[in-house]
Amino acid sequence: QRVFSGEAHGASGSPRWSVPRCLEKFFILHHILYYMVTGVLDSGIGGLTTLSEILRVRGGGEYIYFADAAHCPYGDKSAAQIAAIVRAGAVRLMDEGAECIVLACNTATACAIDGLRAEFEKTTFVGTEPCIKTAKIYGKRLCVLATPLTIRQPRFARLLNGEDCFIPDCAPLAAEIEHGYPHLTGAYKMLAKILAPCRNEKFDACVLGCTHYCLIKDHVQKLLRCPVLDVNNGVGRQLIKLAGASPDRGKVRLITSAPDIYTLRAAAEKILQRFAAPSIIP
């Protein structure tokens, strides 16, 4: 059926495109670029550092941020528990309209992303993983900070690829940051203790394998005096590939499994306004 005189023809002479089909494609593309709702999930406020970088890199977009604070910290639970908890969080985000979900949590990614991708084929899942490979560019001597559950996962072993890195026990650090924020003196003290055994070591780079640790990145840098890397910028660039840049101001809706939204809202206002000025809807 010919609808437009300028239509292109295939070898057989049949039309390959028409105005309605072009419009349809335009609307689908337009929808993907500007209206794709992205869900962002973490055990608490750590993933706000990822969202903040996504907003900075993409310029805007529409997001639902789910802080699963009722289950924080993820890092002291079993892989099976986290897989089930994260699945429930992802389903909640999909029910709220998310078409793409960023697991802004290394622990959730290590335990749940494979299962989520296999079960929910129509949803795109973007994970966060310790950028050990990138860090190797700086040299061989690396320090990797991650939750106990992350470092026990096969995905982590694959990232490490037999490399001999310094991986201290960071067990209570994420919870300390979550509950202390914005007062981080407790977390700074804890970090100093964690890094005490390597006080005289000279690392080529340090990898932050937990999004909560991004909130004390400057302090890690101060103590280790080496480049400190996280994967947030890579996640932002990945979202541009999936959904394009967004010219709007950005809109973030907050949801939480905690009894109140106020703590999350206060943290989101502080963390997200560092680089962007999205409108925040609790």
Interface pick for ligand DGL out of 38, 52, 124, 150 (rule CB under 6 A): 150
Sheet with 142-146, strands from edge to edge, namely 142-146, 205-209, 228-229
Contact between 75 and ligand DGL (CB under 6 A)? yes
Q: Which of 153, 211, 256, 263 binds ligand DGL (CB under 6 A)?
A: 211
- Residues 107-136 close enough to bind ligand DGL by CB under 6 A: 107
Contact 262, 254 (CB under 8 A): no
Helix and strand numbers, DSSP H then E, in the chain: 12, 9
Length of the chain (residues): 282
Mode of pairing for the β-strands spanning 251-256 and 62-67? parallel
CA distance 47 to 267: 11
Q: Which of 38, 52, 124, 147 binds ligand DGL (CB under 6 A)?
A: 147
Residue 153, interface with ligand DGL (CB under 6 A)?
Answer: no
Judge whether 72 counts as a catalytic residue: no
Q: Which residues contact residue 152 at a Cβ distance below 8 angstroms, ignoring those fewer than 6 apart?
A: 79
Residue number, nearest CB to ligand DGL? 75
Report the site for ligand DGL in 12-71 (rule: CB under 6 A).
42-43, 46
Q: At closest approach, how far in Å is the CB of 26 from ligand DGL? A: 38
Catalytic residues: 105, 210
Residues that bind ligand DGL (CB under 6 A): 42-43, 46, 72-75, 105-107, 147, 150, 174, 210-212
